[in-house]
Structure 1
Amino acid sequence: MPHALPLVSAQSIGAHLAVEQDHGAVIRRSVLPGGVRVLTEQIPGMRSATVGAWVGVGSRDETPEHAGSTHFLEHLLFKGTQRRSAQDIAVAFDRVGGESNAMTGKEFTCYYARVIDQDLPLAIDVIGDMVTSARLDDADFEMERGVILEELAMSEDDPGDVAHERFTEAVLHGHPLGRPIGGTPEIIRAVTRDAVEDHYRQHYVPEGLIVTAAGGLDHDTVCALVTEALIRGGWDLTDDRAPLERRDPLAPVEASLVPQVRVNRDLEQTHVLLGTRGFRATDERRSVLGVSNAILGGGMSSRLFQEIREKRGLTYGVYSFGAPSADTGVWGMYAACNPANADEVERLLGTELERLAEGITAEELERAQGQIAGTTVLRLEDSYSRMSRLGKAELVQGELWSIGESLDRVRAVTADDVVALAADLASRERVSVRVGQLGE
């Protein structure tokens, strides 16, 4: 049976790990000179390949003077390097039918490209060039400032986004994780190019870089291509530096909860969120949380959907969710409804959580486990998802379960496990957020 890849044991230079996965896939991990980590998953028969360059720095890591820099860099790295213009970067991927993008999170930034297997050397070269040699031109900086402000304005026009942002801020009030990933308009207007460049020079370094790739590839070839691209970009990979340590999952979380947040908007619906502090990404109950969410609010057969939409017709969309971080997390339930029904919907959200803590049926447990098994396998049917799974495991968990092992852990969840976790969540102080017409 395939086993987990114990990533924690390979922090030293030159360390290598290799573990066979499901259906002949093989995951390998190497630590290159300079502390660069490279993880690959070779998948037999797959003609696509996705490569990602991860920096374990997100919005939570910004100092006051660097506020907004993480998201700014996501934009600026596509604006050109010492070797390529912004158009050159775009044309490089368009010419081979590939796609490239980036994502900024609260704890990481990732730049990635998906191509057919034969064009993986091109993708590694371009992504490596962007990471090592971003130009950060003054004119580009000011232009992207306007683009980011438009992006924030678009998000502010989406009441669902607003509700979720306010919810996270309320659950982790006063903590860096409670800040919006993209910053605020005030922060983006105030940040300077010098501050963003300083953030770039400080964090985009070999010992902080993780390169992950999945699909039709060879691990040793990927390591060689990554090394060549980084040296070509001017990075020194001769030092015997160890990779940066992962975040401490047991670090104290100094944050408060704001019990109630109300945002008055002239909308047809009121967006309701009810939840609390959740669990960190390495919590041993994470498989239990997945099963619990599937039963409570994870699909059309879930309790929230059946009770609030199907039986009462009070909402179109309703669900529960968990958003873990390295050392903490948020957990909540969401619904959008007629403003006149907001009180009733919020009451029902709380009631269904409390009912979950009273017990579940054997049929519900079996259905939830089957749902998770299917979605897990289907979600990992492409090279991008496999690449992303490698990066997040390396950054946070310190190990990577095979798909089979993940499913075994889900099947091992019992009804008592679900009830105990629901009781834990139900006992915690709750946060209530509403965005929309609030009435008197």
Structure 2
Amino acid sequence: MKFKVPRGTQDILPSETWKWQQVEKIIDELCDLYRYKEIRTPIFEQTELFQRLVGDTTDVVQKEMYTFTDKGDRSLTLRPEGTAPVVRSFVENKMFGYPDQPVKLYYTGPMFRYERQQAGRYRQFVQFGAEAIGSADPAIDAEVIALALDVYKRAGLKHLKLVLNSLGDTECRTAHRKALVAHFGPHIGEFCADCQSRLEKNPLRILDCKVDHGHPLIASAPSLADYLNEESARYFEDVKSYLDNLGIEYEVDANLVRGLDYYNHTAFEIMSTSDGFGAITTLCGGGRYNGLAEEIGGPSAPGIGFAMSIERLLLAMEAEGKTFQEEPALDVYIVTLGEQARQPGFKLLGELRAAGIRSEMDYMDRKMKAQMKSADRLQARMVVLLGEDEVAEGVVQLKNMANGEQVKVPVAELIEKMKETLLG
């Protein structure tokens, strides 16, 4: 029987992991710069956590979650997104009691959604996300957006567009909800079954429907911007003002609602405008989620965050022709000749690695010519030749692969000689 990688997943091979590591380095360095601390939550959580926080009218909860019952008859779900687990941990571990607020956290890890595989979209995918919990200051909204943009800019992307909207507070949402029900109600039979069920539960989700997005009633639907109260409108203006101060350009889109139920006030997406990127342009999405901590028994702790797919970031880099720094070349390859040179060669390998010198040797009992070819394929900068005569004399032959120069070096002086050669 032949086994294949499960549909919607992928093997990330060594030739590609170097790219991932460089992206993760960018993320770690920027989060340190912004003072966001890494958090690692479980791969699976109680199913009810996502039902309550993500929203039972969302596509994520209704159609896309990988849910199973464990041996204790508990319903568990592989995490489809990162905010709910982070908020759960924030409440459970009483981070609201930390002296420094807001608590600024970030995560990078696999998420799971059962959806149709597309370019850059998988059923197991890797997300980087950041959350700032504990502050209702519009300045932190601007900071979170700036962090997301900086990741893309540090990765070399130039064709980016930031889109903003305000979803308002509960009062605004309630008034807007009534207007949407009145707008869609008489014609709801023209919409898909999902939208029909959303009409009473959460009509705002109709605006984000993938099936009926071209229906004329969606284009003419009441705008949430017309229902913002004074406080919500002022908050949104403050967010835009802070972005202006950072020199960040943006567009306001009154139809931007995001795909999760917990958002309020600020919502945003970052899109690729590169010609070669494809039809689905969204790279990153996020927004404010005041009230989420209270929903699971915590105190008032307003928050804002975002999540981005690493796969789609890499796809956007490819579309813009951005290349990564080459993987560091091998410093030295040890070629051993004869059985008596094997043990001394292996000992030398360990000493070189202990000194921080990237080193390798042959493990296939190949002849000298084949070992030299291996050193060349691995782009070794230097080759150490060690035969029985060299072992007896306490020396090695050190060959510079760039110019072919070969010198005899005492074993005791090799590491110092290697460092001089590699550095200079």
TM-score band, normalised by the shorter chain? under 0.3
Compare CA radii of gyration and give the structure with the larger one.
2
TM-score (norm 2): 0.20
TM-score, normalisation: structure 1:
0.19
